[in-house]
Amino acid sequence: MILAGDVGGTKTILGLFHRRGGNLTPVAVSRFATPEFPSLEAMIAAFVPAGIRLEGACLGLPGAAVEGAAELTNVGWTVSHAQLRRNLGLAHAVFLNDLEAMAHGIAALQPHQVLTLNLGRPTAAANAALIAAGTGLGEAVLYWNGRERVPAACEAGHADFAPRNGIEMGFLAWLLDRRGGPVSWDMVLSGRGLVDVYHYLRDSGQATQSPDMTRQMEEADPAAVIAREGLAGRNPLCVASLELFANLYGAEAGNLALRSLALGGVWVGGGIAAKLAPTLRDGGFLRAFTNKHRLSALLRDVPVHLILEETTALLGAARVAAAQGRG
């Protein structure tokens, strides 16, 4: 039996998989509200039934795993590779960056779990890339090693936000005034970033906030309210917020494609992208993705795929744990 996990700042998905040879069979999958647990070990204890003997584990974590330990971004936990192995009696355990785990899961996706935004003209023997906004922003590169694409973790989501026009420059100034600096892409392309986009457009006079929106945002998650009302077209300010958010998302996805020369394709994952699929298909995302001056033609040939399956990182972690077991 193998334990796999996709740990996030808001939500964590844990799964038990039975490994037989090269085949993985899911036995149990559960979702947890991450802030409700004092530690990762406490969450795992609540998930794994008593008497289950685990062969190994692989966990995708929101942060950089360095020398067997990681401080989890947007969670406040510190996890130790050695402690996890000792507490669970594991023969082997692996920590991955959460986007690295998601990248490993791409190969397990079925056609109905993917929405293609741009067919492009993919280059088979080339790098690919992955970007995913959620509680924060994650990015990864799948580099071509001459035989296959190998996921590599990075923390590019914490690089500096780069506005491209007057509206976005105003947004940067608004963020600096209220949040302080530096302003990273992680602050912009995330759930809290969508709420900040909404408040910026409201404060800059792009549209007014209705009393009904004030009430809804007080009673429920503001980002979810903005997404719901914007997708339904019921509120002009929410519609404008989703459009600006999609443009920013496309711009940084294009930046990632250039940095990694991802001629094999760019994958867009995370819960926000799947929920905002209708907005991302409208065209603003791809226009921002390809608007790179002399290299615009190059990016028009890059395929862009939207991942709809929320357990992709979990599947990737399970595949890595199984490979470790075979090794």
Q: Do 188 and 317 lie in a common domain?
A: no
Domain annotation covers residue 105: no
Print burial letters for 268-304: b (CB count within 10 Å at least 16), e (below 16).
bbbbbbbebeebbeeebbbebbbebeeeeeebeebbb
150 in any annotated domain: yes
Instruction: Quote the pLDDT of residue 18.
Output: 92
Q: What is the CATH number of the domain that holds 11?
A: 3.30.420.40
Question: Residue 310: is its pLDDT beyond 60?
Answer: yes
Single-letter amino acid, residue 109: L
Residues, the chain: 327
Q: Round to whole Å and give the CA distance between 243 and 285.
A: 8
CATH code for position 227:
3.40.367.20
Residue 176's pLDDT band (boundaries 50, 70, 90)? very high
For residues 122-141, average pLDDT: 95
Which residues on neighbouring strands pair with residue 2, listed in sequence order? 17, 56
Residues 283 and 319 placed together within one structural domain of the fold: no
Phi-psi region of 244 (alpha: psi -120 to 50; beta: other; left: phi over 0): alpha
Answer yes or no: is 183 within a domain: yes
**Rounded mean pLDDT of 122-149?**
95
Domain co-membership, 81 together with 205 = no
**Is 289 found in the same domain as 209?**
yes
pLDDT, mean of residues 164-189: 95
CA distances from 282 to 17, 109, 174, 239, 267 (A): 38, 24, 27, 12, 17
Q: CA-CA distance, 103 to 107, in Å (whole number)?
A: 8
92 and 133 within one domain: no
Contacts of 64 (CB under 8 A, 6+ apart): 70, 97, 153, 155
Each residue's pLDDT tens digit, 85-94? 888 888 888 8
Parent domain of 267: 110-308
Other beta carbons less than 10 A from residue 2's beta carbon? 25
Q: Are residues 252 and 124 in the same domain?
A: yes
Task: Identify the pLDDT of residue 85.
Answer: 83
Kindly write down the DSSP assignment for every residue of 143-205, as one continuous string.
Answer: EE-SSSEEEEE--GGGSBP---SHHHHHHHHHHHHHH-SPPBHHHHSSHHHHHHHHHHHHHTT
pLDDT in tens, 19-78: 887 678 999 999 999 999 998 889 999 999 988 888 889 999 887 777 677 778 778 788
The pLDDT of residue 292 is above 70: yes
Are 233 and 319 members of one domain? no
Q: Are residues 154 and 174 in the same domain?
A: yes
166 lies in some domain = yes
Residue 139 near residue 184 (C-beta atoms within 8 A): no
Query: Is 196 a domain residue?
Result: yes
Do residues 167 and 65 share a domain? no
Q: Is residue 311 over pLDDT 80? A: yes
Is the pLDDT higher at 282 or at 78? 282
Q: What is the per-residue pLDDT across 205-252, written as a single tens digit (0 to 9) for each? A: 988 899 999 999 999 999 999 999 999 999 999 999 999 999 999 999
Task: Report yes or no: 109 and 312 within 8 Å, Cβ to Cβ.
Answer: yes
What percent of the chain has a predicted confidence (pLDDT) above 70? 98
Euclidean distance between CA atoms 284 and 286, whole angstroms: 6
Give the torsion sign (CA, 13, 16, 18, 21). Answer: positive
Close Cβ partners of 36 (under 8 Å, ≥ 6 residues apart): none
* Rounded percentage of the chain residues whose pLDDT exceeds 90: 75
Provide the pLDDT confidence category of residue 189 given band limits of 50, 70 and 90.
Answer: very high
Quick check: is 273 in a domain?
yes
Q: Evaluate whether residue 104 is within a structural domain.
A: no
Whether 94 and 135 map to the same domain: the answer is no
Q: Please give the pLDDT value at position 121.
A: 96
How many separate domains does the chain show?
Answer: 2
Note the pLDDT of residue 227: 97
Q: Is 25 contained in some domain?
A: yes
Please tell me the predicted confidence (pLDDT) of residue 77. 82
Same domain, 286 and 320: no
- Both structure tokens of 258: 């250039």
Q: Are residues 35 and 65 both part of a single domain?
A: yes
